[in-house]
Amino acid sequence: MYMHDILFKAGLHPLRKISDMNEKDIERLYHSILEALNYYRSKMDFWGKEGMFGIEDFIIGYKDNNEPCPVCSEPIVLIKTGSTSSYICLACQKL
């Protein structure tokens, strides 16, 4: 459930192949994972109790289709990615 925002912060499209990523892409992904998971962890305890974690804590994940991207104001869209779907900004997360 965190992957939408992790990939958004890293500027990576969810359909991008790992083999097509360069060292800078991997470094951005690594830092995005750390930042996101530390933030979400700070919002709740190990069992998901206490703390307040809600839909408003996501940057683009689980937002309504066509809600504006917080960075560029382009619409957030829901795309099919394998057996699931991903919320992305097509302008910020180019394939």
pTM of the model: 0.84
Distance, CA of 23 to CA of 4 (rounded, Å): 21
In the chain, pLDDT over 70 holds for what percent of residues?
89
In a domain, 95, yes or no: no
User: How many distinct structural domains can be found in the chain?
Assistant: 1
In a domain, 51, yes or no: yes
In a domain, 59, yes or no: yes
Identify whether the C-beta of residue 89 lies closer than 8 Å to the C-beta of residue 65: no
User: What is the number of other CB atoms lying within 10 angstroms of the CB of residue 72?
Assistant: 11
CATH of the domain at 70: 1.10.8.50
Identify whether the C-beta of residue 43 lies closer than 8 Å to the C-beta of residue 51: yes
The pLDDT of residue 23 is: 97
Query: What is the secondary structure of 37-70 as a DSSP string?
Result: HHHHHHTS-TTS-SS---GGG-SSTTPPTTPBPT
**pLDDT tens, 15-50?**
999 999 999 999 999 999 999 888 877 776 556 566
Q: Which domain holds residue 16?
A: 3-89
Q: Which two tokens stand for residue 81?
A: 């990615």
Whole-Å CA distances, 78 to 1, 34, 63, 64: 14, 24, 9, 9
